Amino acid sequence: MRFQVLTIVGHAPHPLTGELGPAADRIAEAVQTAVAAERLGFDAYAVGERHAGPFLSSSPTVLLGAVAARTTRIRLLTGVTVLAVLDPVRVAEDYATLDQLSRGRVELVVGKGAEAGHFGLFGLDEERQWEYQAEKYELLRRLWREEEVTWEGRFRPPLKNVTTLPRPYGGRPPRVWHGSATSLRSPELAARHGDPLFSANAVQPRAAYARLIRHYRERFEAYGHDPRTAYVGAGSGGLFIADTTREAVTRFKDYYEARVRQAHRPALEGRPGYNTPFRTVEDAVAHGPHLIGSPQQIIDKILGYHESYRHDLQSVTVDASGLTLPGQIDQLHRFAEEIAPAVRREAPTTLWREP
């Protein structure tokens, strides 16, 4: 198993105290967390992209550029790049620049995004989100793999003999994962191209995500790709480690449940993937993907999900814990020391060992 730290740089008032720090401090914390993640041996650091709601992650390339300048080894992922609302030419340019800056450490996770509001913000029709996603991804692939690209589609002006610059580092296109939360369309697109899949694994029961991953693996092989390269990543609903599960529940309960109430979006009630069904911390521990509890309980939970998903990359999120930055870094230290080694032993992977 490989491990990454993910942030979407949330910037909402503290759900219990109402406090809200400066945006500059919050962004600086995200960079400091990445530096700590590399020092602690995590394999990747990921920044999401949000254009609606209380988040400061609308420009992940800028934030990851700052991370690239302060790190040397850790891979830089997105989570997700909202390709459905972006111009593939600009995506090709921006992320190839980041790939050069980091000397080949960039991988994208592309998706339509988890915020319903961003389509209107960019003047796009939400009903066509999957059409946008498929067409724009096909163009992005060509722009990174070919020079003098001539192309015509439905959602942007045609291109004639276009070569985007810079080219990806070392002449190899960055790996692209497909974010998957609710629909079979992302697993299908990933399988068609032989790309890896990244399951949100955040706000639905396990069976919902297992269905998407199962479809991906079946279609991956049907398209003629080597099933040994059908890599899968999985998110989690948040990380909170304590010496015992009882202590974790006691310390995290008030914050967790207040945050669930704060984040609830009544207008999206009934739409899968938006509002968590795990309203109490006890429910989250027992049934949700949240990594809350003692080190052994979290080890067991990750391995339990691995039985269902056979995933290669586990993502953890620590900045939704209500802890200050030193407390968050301590959580990552405990994860790296007390949890990651045991999971790595029990769930080996060839991810990031290929030539």
Given a cut of 80, is residue 156 above it in pLDDT? yes
What pLDDT, in 10s, does the model give residues 122-148?
999 999 999 999 999 999 999 999 999
Q: Which residue has the tokens 């586990």?
A: 314
**Residue 273: pLDDT above 80?**
no
The pTM of the full predicted model, rounded to 2 decimals, is 0.96
- Separation between Cα atoms, residue 123 and residue 302, nearest integer Å: 40
Domain boundaries, the chain: 2-346
The predicted-structure confidence for 98-123, as pLDDT tens digits, reads as follows 999 999 999 999 998 877 678 889 99
Instruction: Dump pLDDT digits (tens) for 279-338.
Output: 999 999 999 999 999 999 999 999 999 999 999 999 999 999 999 999 999 999 999 999
- The four Cα atoms 223, 225, 229, 230 give a dihedral, to 10 degrees, of 10
Query: What is residue 354's predicted lDDT score, i.e. its pLDDT?
Result: 58
Q: Quick check: 61 and 106 in contact, CB under 8 A?
A: no
* Identity of the amino acid at 234: A
Stretch 137-164: mean pLDDT, rounded?
98
As a whole-number percent, the residues of the chain with pLDDT over 90 amount to 90
What CATH number does the domain located at 2-346 have?
3.20.20.30
Of 149, 193, 190, 143, nearest in space to 168 by CA: 143
Query: Would you call the peptide bond into 341 cis, given omega within 30 degrees of 0 as the criterion?
Result: no
C-alpha 219/C-alpha 225 separation (Å) is 9
Reported as a single tens digit per residue, the pLDDT across 48-83 is 999 988 999 999 999 999 999 999 999 999 999 999
Of all residues in the chain, the percent with pLDDT exceeding 70 is: 98
pLDDT at 31 over 80: yes
